[in-house]
Structure 1
Amino acid sequence: MIKQACQVIAAAALLGIGGRAPGAVTIYPAPAGEELSANFTVKADGRPLPVYAAKVAPLAPERRWKAMDDKTNSASYFDLAAFGYFDLAGRANITVSCPQEIVSAKVLPTSYGLVPKVQGKTLSFTLAQPRHLTIEVNGNWVNSLHLFANPPETNAPSPNDPNVIYFGPGIHEIGSLEVGSGKTVYVAGGAVVRGVIKPEEKFSISGYSGLRNYQPTLRLRGSHITLRGRGIIDGGRSPTHARNLVYAQGTNLFLEGVILRDSSTWTVPVRRCENVHIQNLKLIGYRANSDGIDICNSRNVLVEGCFIRTLDDLIVIKADRGQGPVRGIVARNCVLWNEVAHALSVGAELREEVSDVLFADCDVIHDK
């Protein structure tokens, strides 16, 4: 782990002008009670940016495989990374300063062409548009800093709308929430929605792992359902294999913008769906079978502009027998960090017809 904290300063500047651009960076304060990372201190446009902690797969390969094989104790095998998020409208100069001398530095993906300028304890580069970046200093790739620069959020829903399930800034705890047709779930910037196991919740025993299975934290079932926002949905308080974070089953579904952290099993299963758009989701997980996005027996699904760092499969196509074909799937412009499974895959569990699948312009920044 990084023993000394780093300081990151993002100073926004107008194109061609030396001054700052008012409103170029939107920062969402962290809620009281949320654990923050001690490895990095971040400023955006001269203002503090919350840096959150995230458990990730451990450095040692044998511990990564132990996390996969030892289902009961999977949550015990991890290292810590960090992430911050903000909205960006304009051009930003990113400066990273560390207490120690910087010997080497990377800004990933390299396809973005963001080659940092290093001088002593400082590196800098210019960010001209929203991107999902990973910053690695002195060869430390496990305890990296993920910076999620989102496009500006527009047309946020009203908390008074009866068709909106609104999670404002702060910490919220929910069990399993069923979301029906015509509804929007909105997780505001600065909100953390924690999925917990309520005492009254029913469960079954998995024939695969022998562990308890509960209903998903968010179950989107119906038509014309939206999940959006800038905040965090966290599964860290659910035992391994307990529940999906977001389960999708329906037609005309839109998932956008939120951060999904530490799912206890598959993060976003898309099952028996038609017309699904998944955009700008950020997924970080480390536990056994914590897949990213599993597209199962679905048609016309677009996944774009997402960041995924999980222990198991990232974006994978699957088809259970008798549940319908898979057709018209596109995954593009995503940033992917693969550990022990597949970054992009037409998966092993194929028992129905699969056709018209396109993976395009995705950056795999690590493949362990």
Structure 2
Amino acid sequence: MYKFYPVPEKPSELYSIQIGGEAVPANPCRVSAIPFNVVWPGHQRALEQTEEAAFLAFEADGEITLKVKTNGPLKPLCADTDIAIRPLSKGIKAAVAGDTAEFTLPGPGQYTFEPGGMNRALHIFVDPPKDYGKKEGEGIIYYGPGVHDAGRIELKSNQTLYIDAGAIVYGGIIAEDAENIRIVGRGILDNSKSVRGKDGGYTAGSGTPLGCIKMYRCKNVLADGVIFRDSGVWTATLFNCDCVTFDNIKAIGMWRYNSDGIDFVNSANGLVQNSFLRCFDDVIVLKGLKGYDTRNVENILVRRCVTWCDWGRNLEIGAETCADEYRNIIFEDCDCIHGAHIMLDIQNGDRARVHNLIFDNIRCEYSKYQLEPIYQGSEDMKYEPKAEPFLPTLMYAHLYRGMWSKDMLFGENRDITFRNIQIIADPGLPAPPSGFVGAEEEHKTHDIKIEGLYFNGKRLETLEEARVSLGKYTENITIE
């Protein structure tokens, strides 16, 4: 069984797609074309640094076969086309007949179809059947199929925002001191009409808020099923929040400066699961910021997610860590299908004691098409890619003071486990590097365990073989 969603905008022309003999349109989205970035310069990125991609969203309850043909700027498919269907851990292969690729997806989940490299990908979101309940009644804000210009959407306690399949809602969500909020549906919340001020401000007055979701001191929040597109800054930001769940959300079309995915800021008891995020900055990140730092970051679980990082880090602590403690944090059963700087990162730039942190069963993919991330040094500087592929760092943990540090105090990294980490690399690529660094004798990075690190199926048994470098003020870092 499958059900297609209406597309109430001009469909993407990059792909012609058929499922069960029926033509299925895909939505357009803009993504970063090159890893070229700068600290906010007072204006938005140049469109020449971006490109159009596409995404297809529908519902299915089992295996489903797609036929895909490339159009427009994409080269026609042929038997020699280097096609990747990610996550690679799913083992999905395409058969090319003439100019059409045919492949079968195993069921609900998030996938990418990449013909001949990382550019202009087709993102495929297969939703499991789900009934989100009533569409009208007290406390329900409902948007049905069609295009809606909502602007600022302010949610109060005990409210549901229901964005149904086939709806595109232009706007952003704000909530303060509220509880029992639901943001559900299979439609699109598009933040493209938000405008960032020259000072880089993260508020937008009465207009469309910057970012798809901003919540302050909220509790018991669920975001389920919704597609978030083209965020003006961080896609979903939670300040001093408690008990927030993201389930089967999709973040796509993030090309603007600082378009992180999900940022837990001095928040606790969070869950992110079954979701896809492609972002032009850190994807899922736990931060501690001044002004909110009376609360610790704790009891966060991220599982069964697919991440694509066009700049920054895939799964991250920091860089701002203004909190007394980060603890009881688990990232598990995730696929990092593309990275930029670092896949699994602990950037402890402030006073936090980071401990009881686990990365478990994480699959990190390395592509021969990966470009090196470069800071843009001037307005007229052009991105010049190197001939050889770039390898993002796999694992990193350090203590430091940098441009984002506010405490001007060192913290501590300890009792951190990397378990069953799988590196899936294109033929000819070496294992990626990793590293651990402390700050001073009283502020170390220590007691780090690597329990199973695999490179294309081969277990790496020594730190040297795993390309792990140890800096100053590190202690008891082991691999087994």
Please indicate, yes or no, whether the TM-score normalized by the shorter chain is above 0.5.
yes
Identity, % of aligned pairs? Answer: 34
Higher relative contact order (CA 8 A, sep 6+): 1
| 8 Å Cα contact 1:25/1:44 also seen in 2 | no
- For 1:150-165, what aligned pairs fall within 5 Å after superposition? 150-154=127-131, 156-165=132-141
Which consecutive aligned stretches of 4+ in structure 1 deviate over 3 angstroms post-superposition?
68-71, 97-100
Residue 167 of structure 1 and its aligned partner are, at CA, apart by: 0.5
Once residues 362 and 100 of structure 1 are traced to their aligned partners in structure 2, the CA distance between those partners, rounded to angstroms, is 30
Task: Provide closer, same or farther for how the CA distance between residues 299 and 100 of structure 1 changes in structure 2, counting only shifts above 3 A.
Answer: closer
Residue 51 of structure 1 and its aligned partner are, at CA, apart by: 0.9
What TM-score, normalized by structure 2, do the two folds share?
A: 0.63
The unaligned stretches of length 5 or more in structure 1 are 1-23, 196-216
Q: Which amino acid aligns with 1:173?
A: D
Matched, 1:108 2:86: yes
Once residues 22 and 182 of structure 2 are traced to their aligned partners in structure 1, the CA distance between those partners, rounded to angstroms, is 32
Residue 35 of structure 1 and its aligned partner are, at CA, apart by: 3.1
State the secondary structure of the residue aligned to 2:311: coil
Which string of whole-angstrom CA distances, capped at 9 and with x for unpartnered residues, describes residues 325-346 of structure 1?
A: 1110111111111122111101
Matched, 1:283 2:251: yes
Task: Provide closer, same or farther for how the CA distance between residues 75 and 173 of structure 1 changes in structure 2, counting only shifts above 3 A.
Answer: farther
Match of 1:253 in 2: 221
| 8 Å Cα contact 1:29/1:49 also seen in 2 | no
* Greater Cα shift, 313-322 or 300-309: 313-322
* Superposed CA RMSD: 1.7
Once residues 346 and 160 of structure 1 are traced to their aligned partners in structure 2, the CA distance between those partners, rounded to angstroms, is 40
Task: Provide closer, same or farther for how the CA distance between residues 110 and 186 of structure 1 changes in structure 2, counting only shifts above 3 A.
Answer: same
Of 55, 65, 68, the match for 1:93: 65
State the secondary structure of the residue aligned to 1:111: helix
- For 1:138-217, what aligned pairs fall within 5 Å after superposition? 138-139=116-117, 141-154=118-131, 156-195=132-171, 217=172
Residue 92 of structure 1 and its aligned partner are, at CA, apart by: 1.1
Which string of whole-angstrom CA distances, capped at 9 and with x for unpartnered residues, describes residues 126-160 of structure 1?
A: 22210101001123x12000010011122x33332
* Paired residues, number: 316
Higher alpha-carbon Rg: 2
Which string of whole-angstrom CA distances, capped at 9 and with x for unpartnered residues, describes residues 43-74 of structure 1?
A: 33333322111110123x4xx225x5544032
What TM-score, normalized by structure 1, do the two folds share?
A: 0.82
Task: Provide closer, same or farther for how the CA distance between residues 75 and 151 of structure 1 changes in structure 2, counting only shifts above 3 A.
Answer: farther
State the secondary structure of the residue aligned to 1:42: strand
Matched, 1:224 2:180: yes
Once residues 186 and 225 of structure 1 are traced to their aligned partners in structure 2, the CA distance between those partners, rounded to angstroms, is 11
Match of 2:457 in 1: none
Q: Which amino acid aligns with 1:344?
A: L
Match of 2:409 in 1: none
Residue 40 of structure 1 and its aligned partner are, at CA, apart by: 0.9
Match of 2:237 in 1: 269
The unaligned stretches of length 5 or more in structure 2 are 71-75, 205-209, 341-480
| 8 Å Cα contact 2:159/2:180 also seen in 1 | yes
Residue 118 of structure 1 and its aligned partner are, at CA, apart by: 3.0
State the secondary structure of the residue aligned to 1:343: strand
Match of 1:299 in 2: 268
Residue 75 of structure 1 and its aligned partner are, at CA, apart by: 5.4
Once residues 175 and 183 of structure 2 are traced to their aligned partners in structure 1, the CA distance between those partners, rounded to angstroms, is 9
Which string of whole-angstrom CA distances, capped at 9 and with x for unpartnered residues, describes residues 144-201 of structure 1?
A: 00010011122x3333212110000000011211111111100000000012xxxxxx
State the secondary structure of the residue aligned to 2:260: coil
